[in-house]
Amino acid sequence: MRGDRPILLFACPTVPSDIWVPEFARLLPEIEIRLWPEIGDAAEVDYAFVWHPPAGLFPRLTRLRVIFSLGAGVESLLANPEIPRDTPLIRMVDPSLGAGMAEFVLMQVLHYHREMPQVAANQRARLWEARRPPVAQDRKVGILGYGQLGAHCAEVLARLGFDVAVWSRTPRPMVAGLTGFVGPEALPRFFARTEIVVCLLPLTPETAGILNAEAFAAMPRGGYVINVGRGGHLVEADLLAALDLGQIAGATLDVFAVEPLPAGHPFWAHDRITVVPHIAALTQPRTAVPAIAENIRRDRAGLPLLHEVDRARGY
Ligand code: NDP
Ligand code: OXD
C-alpha cells in the first residue's frame, strides 16, 4: 500500500542490492525503497534505479517520474524499446567513477609507456636488457572523449608530463597542457599523433567502430590501444589484423561486444591482449547515492535535474 513517502525501485538484477540499500536509507530517509522483484504495486513507483532492467518492468511503472542509470554509459537503456521516451533518464556521474577510471587508465598507460610487455618477454627469455623508454613529455597519449571520465584521465596524465591530446564532439575549454581535437574531420590528425589511444566515448551511431583498421593504420607503428568505452567501439577483426602486422603492439580491453567475453573468443589467449572484465571503473554507492539524492530533491522541489541524457545526442 502506498503511504505518503515517495517510492524508489532498485531494479538492477545483476548487482547486489545490499551495498546500495543502506546508502539510500541513510541519505534518503524520506523515501521508501523497494527491491525488484518484490515491487508491490508497480503503479506506485516514483523513481527507478536500473541496470539491465528486467523485461516487462517499465510498462508497469505508470507513475514513474525519473529513471536513474547505475552506469555512466546508457546506450543499452536508450536501445530498450520499453523505456518511456518522455521520462527523464539520468546517467551516472559519480566522482569515484572518475577516480577509478583515472587509476585504471594511468596504470595501463604506464605499463605500455615503460615497455613492461617487452620487459616481461625478456624475463621469459632470461634476457637482461636495460631498456630506455622515452620521457613522458615525448610520449603521445590520445583520449577519445573529453567528458566526465576522459577529462579526469587526461588531466592526471598531463600532470605526470605526458603529451596528451583529447577528442570531443564540440569545442571544450581545456586545462593547460592538453591539445584538443574536435569533430570527425580532426580524427585522422588525432590518430596520426597518438601512440597510446584510450577510448572513453559513449557508444552512439557516430562512435561505433571508431577503433578500426583506418585508425590503427594512421597511428605510429607499434602503438597501443586501451578500450574502456564500449565493446562496440572496437572492430575486433581489425585489431587482430593490426596486432598480426605489428602496427599495434598491444591492447587492453575492458569492454566487449559480448559480455561476459565468450570462452572460445580469440582475445582470451592472445599474448598481446589484456582482457579485463569491465571493471575499469565501478559506480560506488557512497559517492553515487548523494548524486541521486540531489536529483530526487530537485525533482521534489521542481528544479531542473542534473546529468539528464540528451536522447537526440545519444549520451
Ligand atoms: P560524458 O558524456 O561525460 O563524455 C562523453 C565525451 O565523449 C564528451 O567529451 C563528448 O563530446 C564525447 N563524444 C561523444 N560523441 C562524440 C562524437 N561523435 N565525436 C567526438 N566526441 C564525442 O561521458 P563519460 O565520460 O561519463 O563516460 C564515457 C563512457 O565511458 C561511457 O559512455 C561508457 O561507455 C564508458 N564507461 C566505461 C566504464 C568502464 O568501467 N569500462 C565505466 C563508466 C563509463 P562533447 O564533450 O563535445 O559532448
Ligand atoms: C559503465 C559503468 O557505464 O559501469 O560502464 O558505469
| pLDDT value for 4 | 81
Specify the pLDDT at position 1: 59
CB of 283 sitting under 6 A from ligand 2: yes
Alpha helical stretches, state H, 73-186: 75-78, 95-113, 116-124, 148-159
**Measured on CA atoms in the order 106, 109, 111, 115, is the torsion positive or negative?**
negative
C-alpha cell at 268: 582470451
* Nearest atom within ligand 2 for CA of residue 92: 6
Q: What is the pLDDT along the chain (315 residues), one digit of tens a residue?
A: 567 899 999 999 999 999 999 999 999 999 999 999 999 999 999 999 999 999 999 999 999 999 999 999 999 999 999 999 999 999 999 999 999 999 999 999 999 999 999 999 999 999 999 999 999 999 999 999 999 999 999 999 999 999 999 999 999 999 999 999 999 999 999 999 999 999 999 999 999 999 999 999 999 999 999 999 999 999 999 999 999 999 999 999 999 999 999 999 999 999 999 999 999 999 999 999 999 999 999 999 999 999 999 999 999
Report the candidate in 189, 230, 175, 190 with the shortest Cα–Cα distance to residue 207: 230
Q: Which residue of the set 2, 265, 272, 278 is catalytic?
A: 278
CA separation for the pair 275, 108 (Å, rounded): 12
| Residues contacting residue 98 through CB under 8 Å, at least 6 positions apart | 148, 149, 152, 281
Residue nearest to atom 2 of ligand 2 (CA): 71
What is the model's pLDDT at position 256?
Answer: 98
* 78 strand-pairing partners: none
Q: Supply the residue whose CA is at minimum distance from atom 1 of ligand 2.
A: 71
User: For the whole model, what pTM was predicted?
Assistant: 0.97
Query: Is the CB of residue 98 less than 8 Å from the CB of residue 226?
Result: no
Task: Tell me which of 34, 139, 169, 230 is the catalytic residue.
Answer: 230
How far is 208 from 224, CA to CA, in rounded Å?
A: 19
What confidence score (pLDDT) does residue 305 get?
98
With a 6 A CB cut-off, is 227 part of the ligand 2 pocket?
no
CA atoms of 237 and 249, how far apart (whole Å): 15
Q: How far is the CA of 148 from the centre of ligand 1 (A)?
A: 7
Separation of alpha carbons 186 and 190, rounded Å: 6
